[in-house]
Structure 1
Amino acid sequence: MPIEFRLLGPIEGFAGGHPLLLGHARQRLVLAALLVEANHLLPADKLIDRVWGDRPPYSVRNTLYGYIHRLRRALSGTAGVDLVRESGGYRLLVAPVAVDLHRFTKLLDEASHAEGSARLALLGEGLSLWRGEPFATADTPWFNTLRQQLENKRFAVNLDRIDLALEHGRYRDVVDELTDLSEALPLNERVAGQHLLALYQDGRAAEALARYDRLRRRLADELGCDPGRSLRTLHERILLADPVLLPGRRTPDRQPVPRQLPGRPRLFTGRAAQLALLDDALLEDETTGATAVISAIGGSGGVGKTWLALHWAHRHLDRFPDGQLYVNLRGYGPGAKPVHPTEALHGFLDALGVKPDSVPGGLEARSALFRSLLAERRMLLLLDNARDAEQVRPLLPGSPGCTVIVTSREQMVGLVSAHGARPVHLDVLSAQESHDLLAARLPATRLAQDPAAVSALVTYCAGLPLALSIVAARAAVEPHKPLEASVAELEHENTRLGALDDPDPAASIRAVLSASYSALEPALAELFGLLGLAPGPDISTAAATALIGGVVAEAAAALSALEKVSLVQRLDGDRFRMHDLVRLFAAEVAAADVPQRRRTAASARLRDFYLQTGHRADRLLDPHSAEVDLGTATPGAAPLALSSEAAALRWLEAERSNLIAVLDRCVQDRDHAAVWQLAWAMTTFNLRRGFLADDVAAWVEGLRAARSLGAYATEALAHRMLADTYTRMGRLEDALAHLQEALTLAERHGDVPAQAHAQIVLAQTHATGGDHRRAITHARTALPLYRQLGNTVWEARALNRIGSYAVELADFDTALSHCRNALTLSRGSNDRRGEADALASLAVLHARQADYPRAAELHRRALHLYTELGATYEEATTLERLGAVHVHLGEHDRASSAWRDALELYRIQGRHEDAERVTTRLGAAAGPGW
């Protein structure tokens, strides 16, 4: 059954011509948001924001899961569509042509490459897909913005269609429509011009002249201005009964029109969002008469700014009948000196027909003459590769009608603030767009021979169009060279830039990046190089402060300066990242230009920043854990003074990847003490969040480091930590082997705390394996050891373990007394984690005794604490148990909701067996008899 979805009007779906039951309005909005992003992952947070805006319900995630579940049922059994859950979000798999919105976009793209009647037919077909207001009934900021963008696009496309219709003599098809448009938009001069021309072609010249006169009076009364030059010229030609205006005739050029644009980039791919922004800017110029629409396209070298500008410009040549001006301002380039505005203006004036002896000498005089010549013209100016706003300002027109596109590695903040520029940021291509770029340049058969090599090339080029083009060009000139040979040149970081090098500066990544680097002040250049040495995918302002050993304000200003020239990209808040190839280049220049002692000191400061802040965060998460002596931090490391448990969680979440990278760097540097100390700093967080693989990887290295140091206590700690995590992963044999090592070391050295901890982990390992009698024996062995140490926190945790194992042995009296004592001790010690564990054990006890109301209450209290603690691992387990209790209470919707939440967490945490079990439960819940 062919599937069809309609968004350009009421939200509807059809399978085989029959309507799909898509539910109520809000549920349809969920589907619409997914269809807009068809075949792309849409994170749950973004989906919620788009569907509910700033008014989400209290339990919005549960509501969303319910909608997704019902949409899956509505779409099940229909070929060609699938709604899948992936880590962090949802993806709706469907052919783009099955969605009218994407079919509309595809038809417009085909029309941009067609000519004459073929183009007219494609535009008409695209417009015929519209059935009214897009996303009817949607009223959230995201849908409202998208609706307006689409309506603007539809309006512009319709005017293009009318232009073509008039050009092909089909004036009778559009004259009535233009009458309506003129009434609705009485001051729109493009619509007015089309209407006058249609009337003239229809033999109604007198009516056309009368309409022009009414428009002229209205513009004078309401806006205090005359019609633009183009409309006045058309009026004069109608007065003269110019036969050239009749269908099929062309207007001869009355004077040379500059056509300076370089050729259209071949095989352009992607950039749909940026092209739409440029379209919107052009449409605003036509509908509001803005002084000048300036779109400052910013991005790093090699990201495709000029390609985008040229591709867009060639798509809209018909909008600029008075010509196009182009200049490469050489703001950045190998060995290039930026073009002075005076020189650029001389070239423009020459193209506009000004004789050399009539060109003024000074900048201001040339700029004034240039603005005068552009007045009332409809022209495009492409100012390519600008150094800064000061280089651009003298080249800007001063009156309506002209569109200016500026490309630069600078962000052009001055143009945005003073001239209303529309900033269009250009990031790297997505994996799919990167693949499409290669596919456009190489034969499909060659790509199909080695898809793994193609994927690797996409990965190593990291979405940079210039890198992808270099790879594709070299593959094209060496057709017999296997793609895997290109992969071999790129896969190693120390050879990757060399593989993308070339004597031609335009085809060399190093040359392009060198142009940006050479323009930096010395202090900025050093920070740029040091950033290339920093481990991890991104860096915060605080970490950069440690890197340079300065103050926060200094680092913030330096990062902003690097962002301004597109050498770093700002993420959310105060975080920054470098493109992979830029990072490699930065590391190269650091090795060449930054002295070794400064590089070593910077690395030490950065390591200690992460290590010291990580331990402060860990202490906030678990204030009852043992203290670790980290020694004195390197001067200038400036670790953060985190103020709360919530702040610690936020920091660890944000820095997780960087902490792992720093640990790996310490492993490479044989910095053994830092290795195990970093593993310790991350453990509480990893276990709470369920990042078990991360925890194992860290402690495997921590164990090696401890052995290298010859520190028995650290070695015993590493064995025990590995055993704890292996137990959670179900790898019980590995856990028991490490526990035996930990216990042997603890007993050999008379380390009572280590013996107690090993016993309590042994208890949990046996309990996980189903041997609760052995588990309770080990827990009872640990209990007096904790009492001997006077450690009430761990005494309470041991009591709770005994109680929870007693539940499994149906010894409910023992379970109740031990769990209650554990709860009392935990509260007295202000150990919220111990309190949550005791509540969870009591909940399981009451469920076993069929006291389901009490069990539900206790589970919810435990769940609240786990959520506050950020302990998503235990949160998932508790949600599954709570769902089972709701079933016994006959609360089936609540059960399904709890299980859906548990399932999402299980999948994020990689707990596949748990996820399968809950999936089965949800499947049974959806079946008959539920």
Structure 2
Amino acid sequence: MIEFGVLGPLEVRRDGVAVAVEPAKWRRLLTLLLCRAGEPVEVPALIEALWNGQPPASARKNLQGYVHRLRHSIAGQEHIVHSAAGYAIIVGAGQVDALRFADLVDRGQAAYDRGDLESAGATLRQALKLWRGTPYADASDVAIVMQEVRRLEEAQLRAQELSVCVDLELGRHSALIGELGRLATAHPYRERLRCYWMLALYRSGRQAEALEVFRDTRALLIEELGIEPGPELRALNERILRADPALGPPPAGGHVEVRPGLPVPRQLPGDVPGFTGRASVLHALNRLLPADGTAPAGAVAIPLLSGTAGVGKTTLAVHWAHQVAARFPDGQLYVNLRGFDPNGPVMTPGEAVRGFLHALGVPADDIPPALDAQVALYRSLLADRRVLVVLDNARDAEQVRPLLPGSSGCAAVVTSREQLTGLVAMEGACPLTVDLLTPTESRQLLAGRLGACRVAAEPQAVEEIVAACAGLPLALAVVAARAATRPAFPLAAVADALSDSGDLWAVFSWSYRTLGTPVAELFRLLSLHPGPDVTVPAAASLAGVPVARARRLLAELTRAHLLTEQAPGRYGMHDLLRAYAAELTRRWDGDTDRHAALHRMFDHYLHTAHGAALLLNPSRDPLSLVPAQPGVTVHPLLDHDEALAWFAAEHAVVVGAVQHAAEAGFDAHAWQLVWTLADFLTQRGRHDPNASGLGDDTLTHYRHALSQWEKLTESSGRGRTHLSLALAFARQAGYSDTLRHSEQALRLFRAAGHQIGQAFALVGMWWAHGQLGDHGRALPACQEVLSLYVRIGDRYGQAAAWDSLGQTLHHLGRHAQAAASYQEALTLFQQLGERYGEAYTLTRLGATQRAAGEHEAAYRAWLRALSILTELGHPDAHTLRTNLHALFFASTHDVTAVG
């Protein structure tokens, strides 16, 4: 057999014996053909490459002679073929070392994905040993070859990174330090190699050297590219500084994934024990993922599971996701989009993508406000990562489309009751129908839950149960759960109980009737909850029982398959079960009891959210809340981080509770819950930045509120309402009205001694004066804002005020003072870690420096801003990069180095 080596200077072997390929043009011709193995190379391209663009008149005839000699002495007629398209060399995957390398890397990746680290390491080392130098070295100056060389060298570097990752997971950190140092030096801008080098040093007890690598890397990137290290490298540096125990060496023989920077989300709900059936759909799902987990031709694999309610789409998607999770070592994201939730609002794409960004480690302040920017950041974080995204219970294609990853290393599985033809047509989703279980699959499900012997002992009863449940997995699961709790109970009795009616609610009712009174009552009352899931304290408040008792009741409902524990301490109910429970509570619970349960539930969320809101922003005036009803559990929160975590977990429920409270007549709870959400939603960017303004109805409500406040002596309430009116008019470009209401708010807040209110009112005045072009009057308002924030000790407010002061001074032509103000803002934003504030202040600083004729300084400021916006995946980076090119095109600066 003939073999070719191209991972270095050309080598040819026949049956293991080296074959000389001379003269040089033969070698060059064979190299060119091997670079495009299996594909024809056009004759003009070969002539161009062989004679470096200066061919003799006899070039075509000479080429034919070279081909003839190669066939005769080296490759043979069967290998080098000719067609109208040109010449091609036909070889098998095992005959070219570049193809063997790719195959070995794929096998090493597959072994790593399934957790076989020893095999992965050995296979990758075998692949890397094939390299002898620059690929296709005999023709590396030819354009088509240069492109292939770059591709192969990138593949080699990725294989080296994976090999290092495997060895780190095997605990071979000390032996890797020298190799990593050489690799990092050879590829100075490859931040992942720097991460691995730092991790190897840290695990070898050389923390100081690991931190020194970060400092050197940061200095290199700033000096040569004008950018800061990326989030992965910065996160690892911070974890090393605090000696994060999770960075320690893996246990002996253990398998600890090496993900040194960004977190690895593991959001999948628990898999169903004893999952059975669905073999054909699972096979189809697996066919969508090649062995390495990536989609073909750069596409993202998007299986779409559709089917009727209760058919088991979510269970199937989650089960498959657990099966293939190892192929996605960078994590799994999950979201219930609540597309058909009868009681709660449909989740917006913005809510979902922000949840994903939080799971991927993006700080709240770094999430941009606009949905397009959020999606861009989300996809940037998934680029070059292998993440599985599960989008459950989708309403339509528009809800799904922004949540799809853009990297072919990722996959997204979507479930919906609808067929979502738009997703199939526009995004290439692969539709898979989830049908009712076949009788055989139904029997398998029962056997898995009840035991094969018990099922085999009563075949007739099993057939009747299968027929009554009509192939719905939800119905079969409920029946099996009931029968499993009574192992001595004959299945014939179960069948008899189902024989009167074969509808789904009859199945539910049969299981419901076996519940004890407190459990049944909680099941009914849970239908009053806005969803999508409920915590133990919320359920305890709904039922008016202690938390410990509520936990036991929830556990019993879970065992009966009437609830699912979707995450530790968070319980969800299928839409069909919720509808059944709602019918029961209307039938059995009186209006008074349901009203009392709702009151307790709203009290739970209001009092907990109120405490959380004050922890997030202690400067807010607390509300005067009515004491909570007896039986209400208020979730205790100790500090800012706990409050932020509570809102992050519960905000969807609280938003749903607002609408639910308004509809149920709890008006005070409705508006007070909105008040509690204000700071959290603002910080997380949960507002519509494209809103065109507030309607006339809103202005009418504000004016009515103002007239009611004016009947009271309290000044702050009137001041807040004037501020709301000022904001409403600002959104409608009514700046004179904005100024008027801001001035009235300032007067009232001064009378009340309310410093934060005064600051907000002065900001409104500064903004209105600036929009009206009166920057001379805007200046003292801004200076007073700054003094107030200094007095209060609000550093974020001070940073914003310095930035505002810089804007005003710029418009007044006082460029040196404006630049000094911006520098003060930058110092504070950097201390606070507020990257967006830093970027936009740098942008304005650059504009001021340019106006002052300081073009070099402006360039540096804009380049720093560009590096931050690029790193954060913000769409404004494109605009800034375009401006830089336009302004400095003729200069010697290279703005393409960033991003």
TM-score tier by shorter-chain length is 0.3 to 0.5
- Compute the TM-score of the two structures, normalised by the length of structure 2: 0.43
